[in-house]
Amino acid sequence: MKKRTGDPTEEKKFRKLRALNKSVIPEYFYRGSIDSRSKRAGMTRVLLGALKSSSASLPESFKISLLLVVIFTLPFFDKNPYHIDIMVTAGIFMLLASGLNVIVGFAGILNLGYAAFYAMGAYTYALVNLHLGVPFWAGLWVSGFVTALFGILLALPAFRLSGDYLAIVTLGFGEIVRITLNNLDRITGGPNGLLGIQHPALHFSSYQYQFGVRSEPYYFLVFSLVVIVVFFLKRLESSRLGRAWVAIREDELAASCMGVDLGWAKLSAFGIGGFIAGIAGCVFAAKQGTVSPDSFDFVVSVMILAMVVLGGLGNIWGALLGAFMLNLLPEFLRGFDIYRMLFFGIAMILIMLLRPQGILGERRHKEEFHSQSSR
Q: What is the DSSP letter of 199?
A: P
Contact 157, 269 (CB under 8 A): no
- Of 68 and 342, nearer to another protein (C-beta) is 342
List the beta bridge partners of residue 291.
194
Shortest CA distance to 38 belongs to which of 374, 357, 360, 359?
357
Candidates 238, 345, 363, 367; binder of another protein (CB under 8 A) is 345
Instruction: Determine the residue type at 367.
Output: E
Query: Looking at beta carbons only, is 44 or 180 nearer to another protein?
Result: 180
Enumerate residues 92-131 that contact another protein by CB under 8 A: 104, 110
- Nearest residue (CB) to another protein, 137 versus 159: 159
CB 315 within 8 A of CB 360: yes
Q: Is 138 in the site for another protein (CB under 8 A)?
A: no
Please count the other Cβ atoms lying within 10 Å of the Cβ belonging to residue 305: 21
- The footprint of another protein on residues 236-275 (CB under 8 A) is 253
- Contact in structure between 197 and 129 (CB atoms under 8 Å): yes
Type of residue numbered 133: G
If one asks whether residue 365 binds another protein (CB under 8 A), the answer comes out as yes
- How are the residues of the chain apportioned to helix, strand and coil, as percentages rounded to the nearest 5? 75, 5, 25
Smallest gap from Cβ 233 to another protein, in A, equals 19
- Residue 87 binds another protein (CB under 8 A): no
Report the half-sphere exposure of 338 (CA within 13 A, side-chain side).
0
The residue (of 136 and 173) whose beta carbon lies closer to another protein is: 173
Of residues 164, 224, 228, 263, which one binds another protein by CB under 8 A?
164
Which of 56, 138, 195, 342 is close enough to bind another protein by CB under 8 A?
Answer: 342
Q: Judged by CB under 8 A, does residue 157 bind another protein?
A: yes
Distance (Å, whole) CA 96 – CA 92: 6
Chain centre distance of CA 223 = 14
Cα separation, 53 vs 55, whole angstroms: 5
Cβ closest to another protein, residue 78 vs residue 164? 164
Residue 2 DSSP class: -
Q: At closest approach, how far in Å is the CB of 118 from another protein?
A: 18
Among 3, 52, 79, 160, binds another protein (CB under 8 A): 160
Nearer to another protein, 174 or 200 (CB): 174
Binding flags for another protein, 193-232, as an x/- string (CB under 8 A): ----------------------------------------
Q: Which is nearer to another protein, 73 or 162 (CB)?
A: 162
Residue 112 and residue 166: Cα distance in Å, rounded? 9
- CB 282, min distance to another protein, A: 25
Q: What is the DSSP letter of 203?
A: E
**Contact 296/122 with Cβ under 8 angstroms?**
yes
Task: Pick out residues in 5-64 that bind another protein (CB under 8 A).
Answer: 40
Please say which residue, 109 or 127, places its beta carbon nearer to another protein.
109
- Asked if residue 351 lies in contact with residue 359, where contact means CB atoms within 8 angstroms, the answer is yes
Residues near another protein (CB under 8 A) are 40, 104, 110, 157, 160-162, 164-165, 167-169, 171-173, 175-176, 179-180, 182-183, 253, 298-299, 302, 305-306, 309-310, 313, 338-339, 341-342, 344-349, 352-353, 356-358, 365, 369-370, 373-375
